Structure 1
Amino acid sequence: MTTWQNHWMLRGAVFVISRLMPIWIVLCAAAAFQFHSIFTPLGAVVGPGIGCVMFFMGITLDLARLKMLLKKPLTVVLGSAGKWVFAPVTGVTTAVIFCGLHTAIGSGIVMAGIVPSGTSANLNSLIGGGDVAYSVTMSAVDTLVGPFLTPLIAKLCIGTGVHLAYLPFVWKMVRLVFLPLLSGIALQSFIPTTRTYLTPFTPLLSAFALYGIVLGIVSGAFHVLSLNSDIIPLVALAVLLQVGVQMVIGYLYGRLLRVDDRSCRSLVFEVGICNSALAAVLAQDVFGSMAAVAAIANMVCNLTMGSMVAALMKGNLRIGKGRKRKERPQILSNGKEVRYGESLRK
C-alpha cells in the first residue's frame, strides 16, 4: 500500500488526470459537442457517475476528525449555513440580472447555487493552505442536508414558474447523494482497510466519473446548444460573475465569523464551489438540457477559477508579508501530518 501511495506513476497519473481537471473538463466538453453521436450513450451513466463520486467521498472521509469537529459544531454549522444562504442568493440574483429567473438558463444558474459544495472545494482548500478537515466536515454536512434543502430551495426560488415535484426531487437527491455517501462511510467503518487501499486511487476514479458526466450531458445537449449558440457567451459571463462573487463572499464571511486565516481560505471554496455536476444532472431531469448547460458552464468556471485562486493562495503562503506564521498541521486522509502549504512541495 505504502509503495503504491508513493509510487511515481500514481503521483504522475493523479497530477495529469486529477490536478489538471479544468483542462480536461474543457476538452471533454469540446469533444462531446464535436462528436456528440459517439458520446450520447454516456447520458445513461450520468446519475451513476454522481453516485460514484459521493461513494468515494464516503470511503475517504476522515471519520475520527469528523467526530472531533462535530463535538464543537458551531463553526462547522455556521460555515455550512453561510453556503446555503449566500450561494442561493447569488444564483437567484445572477439569473434575474442576466436571463430571468423562470427560464431554462436561469433555472440552471440557480440550480448551480443550491446544491452541496463540490468535492473540488476540499482539494482546492488543501492546495490553497486552508483547513482541510474543516472543509471536508462542512462538505459532509452539506451533503447530508442537501437532499432536503436543495429541493426545498428550488421549490421556493423557481418552483412557481415551472412544475417541480418536490418528493420525487427529494428522492433523487437521496438516491444520488445520500445513499452512496452513507454506503462509502459504512464500508470504511466495517472494513477499515478499504479506506487505506482505495484512498490513493479515489482522485483518479472520481475524476473519470466526472469526465463521463460532462461527456454525457454536453453530448445530450448538442441540439439545444446548436440552436442557442448565441447565448453561450452570456451564460459564461453570468456563471463567471456568480462563482467569483460567491468566493469573495466566502472569504468575507469567514472574517465576519472571526475564524483563523486557514478557515477563511476553506470558506472561499465552501461558498464559492458547489457540486455543479450534481446540479447539471438535476437541472437536466427537471428543467431540460439548456438548464444543464448552464450548470456545466458553472462547473467549468468553478474548477478553473478554484484552481487559480488556490494557486494564488499557495503563492501567498510562500511570499507572505514578512511575518512568520505558526500553523497547526493538517491531517490528511492517509493519517500523515502536513504543515501549512507543505503538501505541494513534496
Structure 2
Amino acid sequence: MFAVVLPLALALVMFGLGLTLTIEDFRRVLRYPKAAAVALACQMVLLPAICLGLIYLFGLTGALAAGMLLLAASPGGPSANLFSHIAGGNVALNITLTAINSVLAVFTMPLIIGLSFALFLDDDAGIGLRPDKFAQVFAIVLIPVAIGMWVHHRFTGWAERMRGNVKVLSIVVLALVVLAAVAKNREILADNIGKLAGICLVFATVSLVLGYLVPRLFRVETDAAIASAMEIGIHNGAIAIAVAASVLHNDTMSVPGAVYGVLMNIPAAIAAYLLARQAKRAQETPVASTHA
C-alpha cells in the first residue's frame, strides 16, 4: 500500500511545484548567475562530500548510510520558499534554484546512488547502471513538474488562484509522507535514533551555514545568500523516501529522509529567526544614525 500511495503523493507534490513555475523561472538564472552558480555548486558538490564525511564520523553503515547520501542528492523542498520568505531571502531565486535543482537531480541522483551502493551496499546494481531505474526517477520527479507547468501555461488564471493552496497542500502531503515513512520503519528508527538524529541535525545545520557563508564569500547579496542557505539546507525528503521505497525497493534507505524531514525544521526555523533579526537590525541602523 505504502509503495503505491507514495509515488502518487510525490507526483502531487511535484505537480504542485510545476503549477507554480513558468519558463521565466528558469530564465531568471541569467539575472542571478553568480548566486545560482555558487548555490548549485554547493548543492551538487559540497553537500554530498560533507554528508559522506558525516556518515563516517557518525558510524552509519549499510542502507542507512546509502539513504543519507540519497537525501544529500535530493533537491530543495517546498518549505524552503517559506523559510526564505520569513528570513528576508530572495524568494524568486529560491523558486529558480528549486526548478533547476529538480531537473539536475534526475541526472545527479543516479550518480550519487551508484556511489552509495558501491561504498555501503557492495552491490553493482546501483541505479546509475540501470536505465529502467533512471527512467523511474525521471518519471516521478520531472514528468509531474512538466504537467504542472503546462497546466499553469494553459490555465494561468486558475493556477495563479491556486498557488497558495497548492503550496500549503504540498507541505501537508510532504509531512504525511515523512510521518508514514517514520511509522512504517519505526523499529529501524528506534534502533538507530541516536545516530540518525545527530547526523541529520548536524547536516542540516552545516548545510544552512555553508549555504549562507559560501555565497557571501563570493560577494553574493545578502537576500540571495539567504535564499541559497534555505535551498541548500532544506531537502525534499519525500523524493528521497519515494526513490528509496518505490524505485530501489529498500525501505531502510528511506529512514534518513524521514528523520531529516522532521528535524530539519528546527535549525531552519532558528536560522530564519536569526537572519530575520539581522535584516531588521540592518534596516534600523541607518535610522538610528540619522537621529543621532
Cα gap change, 1:71 to 1:310, in 2 (>3 Å): closer
CA distance in structure 1 between the partners assigned to 2:265 and 2:206 by the alignment: 15
Q: Which residue matches 1:88? A: 48
Cα gap change, 1:232 to 1:204, in 2 (>3 Å): same
What is the aligned counterpart of 1:293 among 247, 255, 258?
Answer: 255
More displaced 10-residue stretch of structure 1: 214-223 or 179-188: 214-223
More displaced 10-residue stretch of structure 1: 53-62 or 279-288: 279-288
* SS, match of residue 323 in structure 1: helix
What is the aligned counterpart of 1:216 among 156, 180, 197?
Answer: 180
CA distance in structure 2 between the partners assigned to 1:322 and 1:189 by the alignment: 41
Contact 2:19/2:159 (<8 A) preserved? yes
Shift of the alpha carbon at 1:310?
Answer: 0.9
Matched, 1:135 2:135: no
What is the aligned counterpart of 1:117 among 76, 80, 87?
Answer: 76
Counterpart of 1:237, as a letter, is G
Matched, 1:186 2:150: yes
Matched, 1:79 2:43: no
Shift of the alpha carbon at 1:63?
Answer: 4.3
Shift of the alpha carbon at 1:86?
Answer: 1.5
| Unaligned ranges ≥5, structure 1 | 1-40, 326-346
More displaced 10-residue stretch of structure 1: 64-73 or 80-89: 64-73
Note the 1:90-109 alignment, pairs <5 A.
90-100=50-60, 102-109=61-68
* SS, match of residue 72 in structure 2: coil
Cα gap change, 1:169 to 1:95, in 2 (>3 Å): farther
Cα deviations by residue, 1:185-209 (Å, 9 ceiling, x for unpaired): 1111122112222112112211232
Matched, 1:309 2:278: no
How big is the alpha-carbon RMSD for the aligned residues of Structure 1 and Structure 2? 2.2
TM-score, structure 2 length as denominator? Answer: 0.87
Q: Which residue matches 2:17? A: 57
Shift of the alpha carbon at 1:132?
Answer: 0.8
What is the aligned counterpart of 1:257 among 218, 222, 229?
Answer: 218
CA distance in structure 2 between the partners assigned to 1:61 and 1:126 by the alignment: 17
Shift of the alpha carbon at 1:321?
Answer: 7.8
Identity score, percent: 24
CA distance in structure 1 between the partners assigned to 2:7 and 2:28 by the alignment: 32
Cα gap change, 1:48 to 1:144, in 2 (>3 Å): same
Matched, 1:232 2:196: no
Q: Which residue matches 1:319? A: 281
Q: How many residues align?
A: 281
TM-score, structure 1 length as denominator? Answer: 0.75
| Unaligned ranges ≥5, structure 2 | 288-292
